[in-house]
Structure 1
Amino acid sequence: MNIKAPRGTADVLPGEAKKWQYVENRIKNICDRYHYNEIRTPLFEHTELFQRGVGDSTDIVQKEMYTFEDRGGRSLTLRPEGTASVARAFVQNKLYGDANQPVKLFYFMQMFRYERPQQGRMRQLNQFGVEVLGSADPAVDAEVIDLAMTVYKELGLNSLKLVINSLGDQESRTNYREALVKHFTPHKEELCHDCQSRLNQNPMRILDCKKDREHPSMSTAPSILDYLNDESSSYFERVKAYLTTMGLEFEVDPNLVRGLDYYNHTAFEIMSEAEGFGAITTLAGGGRYNGLVEEIGGPDTPGIGFGMGIERLLMALEAEDKELNIDEQLDVYLVAVGDETKEQAVKLVHELRNSGIQIDMDYQGRKMKAQFKAADRYRSKYVLILGEDELQKQVINMKEMETGEQSEVSLHDIGEAMQKKLLGGKGHE
């Protein structure tokens, strides 16, 4: 039986995994500089969390969730996005009571969405995201956007476009909703089935429809910016001013609504403009979600965040021909020749690893020539050669592969010698 990975999933093999590790480590470093702390939440949650938090009218809840009933009859769902889970953890663990506010969090999560797989969009996807809970300051909105842009820029991406919009407060949204219903109702029968349902449930979602994007009514739809009250308009102006102060270029797109019900005020997307990247250009998206924490049983707590697909980030790096600074060289390869040397070789590899040295050896019983070929394939910086003669004299040959220089070192001193060569004399801390 030929069993393959399920449709919409993919294996990340060792060579590719190094890129993931590099990217994730760079991102963690950036989050540390911005003073964000990591949070990890369960892979599945009670289905109600996403129904209430993400919204019943969204495509995620209606079409894309992996939902199942456990043996106790409880409805559970593999998380399709990260914000609702983080908000639930914030409420359950009473993080709103911490002395240090706002609470700034970041995460790396696997998400699950049942949608049509395509390049950079899988059913099991990996996402980096941040959430800031406890501040309604527009400067926080700018900080969150700046963090996302910094990730892309420090990894080397240049072909980026930042698009922002304001969805306004509840009053503004209500007035805009009425205007959209009035505008689209005469065209209802011409819209797709989903948009016909959205007209009554959440008409703003019509603007985000992929099927009806070319319908004439889209280009003449009213703009949310014309329905912002004074408070919402002032808020948006301050966000734009802070972004300008940071030197971040952006475009305002009144049709940017995002696909989740909990957004209000600031919404944004970051897109790749790299040639050949693909039809779906969005790399990251997010926005403000005041009211979400209350919706799931917490106190009045403003929030803002974003989600960034790791797969799409790697695609963008490839589209711009960006090489990641990954050291794929092995530090040391130990060539052991003869049956008598095996025990000493195992001991030496163990000791060097404990002293902070990256080292490997042969476990295939190969001849000396084949072991040297293995060292070449691993691009080993040094090769240690231990034969029965060396074992008898309690020495080992150390060869620097780049120069070909070779010297004989006491077995007792080889650890210190390797530390000086590779670690500057510093052992494992």
Structure 2
Amino acid sequence: MTVEAEADAPRAPVAVNLVLDRSASMRGAPMAAAVEAALLLVERAGPKDYLGLLAFDGVPEQLAPLRIMDSEARAQLVERLSALKTGQGTALHEAVDSGAAAIRRLFVPGARPKMLVLTDGEPSVGPRALAEFRTLGATVAESGISLHALGLGRHYLPEILEALTGPSGTGFTHVDDAEGLPLATAALVAELFGEVGTYGRIFVRPTGFSELLCRHRYPARSEVDALSVGLGSLSHAFARRALFTGRLESADWSLGVTTTWMENGDTRRVTVPVQRALPDSPEGRLIRAVGVELDLVAAESASWKALLRRNPPAAEQALVTAESALRELFELGVDEVPPRRHEERLVDLRRAVERKGAELPALLVRRARAEDARTGLSIVQHLPAPSKAGR
């Protein structure tokens, strides 16, 4: 299933609280890049959008309340961003909790509240256990807030960002260094400010199957006669893709598919016609490529984790699986699932496996886990072409 917004669909207003890390490790280029990224949000916001700013080190502080983006509010937000100074400590849990509380106090009809967290550090103040962040992520999502995150550099913990964003169905983005932050933010801004529908959901009613599985990490549940899969929000230029696999118990099978979403406060429901595709048709090759990419990224992540556990044989086995999947992607040659975006990472992984994990590059481990989270959600990003100076 591929669900995407129509190009001319009107977008809804948004209410975004930006939660910005200003711990000591952000000093210098990271902070400058983070401020530049935040200013992009201010620039992109429309006259019906609401923005706020919470900065945190050892203590979170709501520097600018969520306000509609008139000229006065824009000027205040720019001023607060320009005056940001770094401090000590990283109270990530309290910052997310406080940022969500600020959003819950605001109600904007027709707009789904959102939070964008940008951090480069491991939590050092307050709760640090992964289970506590899972609980917090679930609480934020249950309150109706969509949480997005950017992890910068080599110190943040991808498991924590995945725990925070997973319940919202958004995933998180990894950026190697400050230079890559503006481009990553541009993609997130396009998603945040391109929303045309909220609470998108697919209902699949199968006959002739003994089981049906959604392979993506969207939240799913059984609903009497259907498998229901939540897609989160639908935005311009961001296709939401969900791959289903099943076990047939009869040759006579069928699928009934319905999608629903909220548009300006109204529930829209559309029955989707199901098209059967042969494996070697263009549609069939795309479906196969999506499945192969999921296998590749899962194997890559498993290999890195095996190296972290000091288990080189398991790492080698998982890497062989990932390399085989990469070869299959090249053979399929599907433009929508380009294999070259995985090639460099697998080369780095091969070097690490051959060294049996000696001097394991933490940055690459984190990047692989971030890729696992994003590809698992199958968010297809159409990034703007880089300028000549940035090539």
Same fold (TM over 0.5): no
Higher fraction of strand: 2
Q: Give TM class, smaller chain.
A: under 0.3
TM value normalised by structure 1:
0.24
TM value normalised by structure 2:
0.26
- Specify the structure having the higher radius of gyration (Cα): 1
